[in-house]
Amino acid sequence: MAEKSRTEYSAKNTSIALISRILYMLFGYVARIIFTRVFNEDYVGINGLFTDILSILSLSELGFGTAITFALYKPIAENDLEKQKTLMDLFRKIYTVIALVILVLGLLLIPFFGILMKNSPKVDHIVIIYLLYLMNTVLSYVATYRKTLISAHQLNYIPVLISTLFWTGQNIIQIIILLTTKNFILYLCINLISTVGTNIVCTIKANRMYPFLLEKNITPLDKGERQGIVRNVKAMFLHKISGVLVGHTDNLLLSSMISTGVVGVYSNYVLLTASVKQILDQVFEGIAASVGNLGAVEERGRIKQIFEATFFMGQWFYGLCSICLFMVLDDFVRLSFGENYVFAREITFVICLNFFITGMRRATLVFRDSMGLFFYDRYKAIPEAVINLVASIVLCNWLGTIGIFIGTAVSSVTTSVWVEPYVLYKYKLKISSIGYFIRFAIYTAVTFAAGYLTYLTCLALERIITYNDNPVLYIMIKGVIAIIITNTIYLTLYFKTPEFRIFKEKIAFLIKKKMKKQ
C-alpha cells in the first residue's frame, strides 16, 4: 500500500478517534462530578479498586490480541483472505476461553475482599456491585476479535464510532439515573447494556464487511506459523504482567496500605490524567495499522525517518499536556470535586511526571508492537514489575502516599525507558540507538525548562488574580499561560529540525488533499 494511503488512513482514524475521546472526556467528567456528589468517598474508591482488580484479571488475555494483530498485517497487505479467516477463527476460540477464565478467577477473588480493603468501605451490596463489574469485563471480550480485524485493515474509526455512540447514550442515561434514583446498581446495569449493544453492532458490521467470518471451512495454521504466534504470545504475556503491575497496582497498594478513601481521591486525578492520555493515545492508535503496513513494505531508512518524526510529535504533545496538567490539575480537582479530594502539590508533580514518562515511550511502543518486536525485550517485563512493587512498598512505608507513585517512576526509568528503544534500533533499524537517547535527553531538558518557566509565571500571576477571586478564570489563565510558553519554546527550538519538517509536510499534504476533493 502506498504511503499516501497510509497517511490518509492515519489521519481519518486519528481525527475521528480524537473527537470520540473528547466526547468521552466531557461526558465522563460531568458523570464523575455527579457521581462524587451523589455517593461518598467509599463508592468512589470501590469504583477505582474494582476497575484495577479486573484489569489485573485481564492478564489471562496473555497478549493474544497484539500477537494476532501483528500476524494479520501481512495477509491483509497481500489480500490473503484464507489466512485472515484462519487467524480470526483462532482468535475467536481463544477469546471465548479467556472470557471464561476471567469469569472463574473473578468469582474466586470474592472471599479475599477483606484482604484487598484495609478499611471496610461503607457500601451496600458490595458483592453484587463487584459481579456487575466482572460481567461487564467478561462480555467486553465477545466481539473483540472482530473489532481487531476492522482496525488491522486501517479502519479503526468504524469500531470507534460504534463505541462512541453507545458510550454517549450510556453516560446520558447514567447521569439521569444518578440525579433521579441515586441507585448505584442500576447505574452499573447500564454499563452491561451498553457493552452488549456495542458487541452486537460490531458483530453485524464486521460480518457484512468480511463475509468470510461466517464461513465454516477453516484451513488450520501450519506448524511454523503456529509456533511463531505462540512465541509472540509468550513474549506479550510478560509485557502484560509488567503493564498491569506497573499501571494498575497503585490503587491496590493505596487501598491495602493507606485506605480506600485515598483511592477515591486518586481516582479523580486518574479520571483527568487518563482522559488526556487517552486523547493523545488516539493519535498513536490511529497510526498503528499504518505503522504495521510501513514495517511490512518499506526499507529501514524510511522506517527510521517516520519513527523519529513520530517520537518528536509524541514528546511535543505529551510534554505540553504534562505542563498544563501540573499547572491546573489541583485547582481543577478542587473546583470539580471539593477540597477534600486534593492531593499535596508534590504528589501532583509525581503524577504528572509519570504521565510524561509514559508519553515519551508511546511512539516506541507503537512501532515495537506493530512490527512484532515485543519478543526481544520480553524479559524486561520481569525486573520492571519487581522494581515497581518493591520500590512502591518500600517508599510508601517511608514517604507515605507519594512513595507509591515514585516507585512507578523508578521502575519505568530503570527498565522500559531505555530497553524498548534499544530493541527497536537494534533489531529493526539495525543502527545504534545513541542518537535516540540524545534526543530523549534534549526533549526532556527542554520540557522541564518550559515547565519551570511556566510555573514561575503562574506564581507571578497570583499577584493579579487568585483561585478564590474567580476559580474558573484563574484555571483558564494558567492553562493559556502553559500553552503559550511551552509552544513558543518548542517552536523556537525545533522549527528547523528534520522531524518538524516531516510533520509540516504531512499536515500540508492532508490539507491539500482535502482542498482538492472539495
φ, ψ for residue 392 (rounded to 5)?
A: -65, -45
- Report the pLDDT averaged over residues 191-216: 86
Question: Each residue of 61-89: pLDDT tens digit?
Answer: 455 666 677 777 778 877 888 888 888 88
Handedness of CA 56, 386, 343, 331 (dihedral sign): negative
- The rounded distance, in Å, linking the Cα atoms of 36 and 40 is 7
Task: Report, in angstroms and rounded to the nearest whole number, the Rg of the chain calculated over CA atoms.
Answer: 23
- The rounded distance, in Å, linking the Cα atoms of 234 and 236 is 6
Grid cell at residue 29: 467528567
- The rounded distance, in Å, linking the Cα atoms of 376 and 368 is 10
Model pLDDT, residue 251: 66
Alpha helix (H) residue ranges in 109-249: 113-116, 126-139, 144-152, 157-180, 184-209, 223-247
Handedness of CA 135, 138, 139, 140 (dihedral sign): positive
Alpha helix (H) residue ranges in 257-299: 260-297
- Which of 170-174, 270-274, 403-407, 485-489 is predicted least confidently? 270-274
Of 112, 104, 111, 116, which Cα lies nearest the Cα of 60? 104
Model pLDDT, residue 320: 95
- The rounded distance, in Å, linking the Cα atoms of 263 and 119 is 12
Model pLDDT, residue 11: 66
CA angle in degrees (0–180, nearest 5) for 180-181-187: 110
Pick the residue with more confidence: 243 or 177?
177
Name the amino acid, one letter, at 200.
Answer: I
Model pLDDT, residue 3: 43
Confidence of residue 298 (pLDDT cuts 50, 70, 90): low
Question: Each residue of 96-134: pLDDT tens digit?
Answer: 888 888 888 888 888 877 666 656 666 677 888 888 888
pTM, rounded to two decimals: 0.71
Of 367, 101, 100, 65, which Cα lies nearest the Cα of 236? 65
Q: How far apart, in Å, do the first and last CA atoms of the chain sit?
A: 24
Task: Look at residue 58 and tell me whether its pLDDT is greater than 90.
Answer: no
- Report the pLDDT averaged over residues 256-278: 77
Question: Each residue of 336-353: pLDDT tens digit?
Answer: 877 877 888 999 999 999
Task: Look at residue 1 and tell me whether its pLDDT is greater than 50.
Answer: no
Task: Look at residue 436 and tell me whether its pLDDT is greater than 90.
Answer: yes
B/e letters for 449-479, b = 16+ CB within 10 Å, e = fewer, are: ebbebbbeebeeeeeeeebeeeeeebbebbb
Give how far Cα 229 sits from Cα of 90, 253, 375, 409, Å: 11, 34, 11, 32
- Report the pLDDT averaged over residues 366-378: 77
Grid cell at residue 418: 531505555
Model pLDDT, residue 36: 75
Model pLDDT, residue 291: 66
Confidence of residue 223 (pLDDT cuts 50, 70, 90): confident
Grid cell at residue 404: 507509591
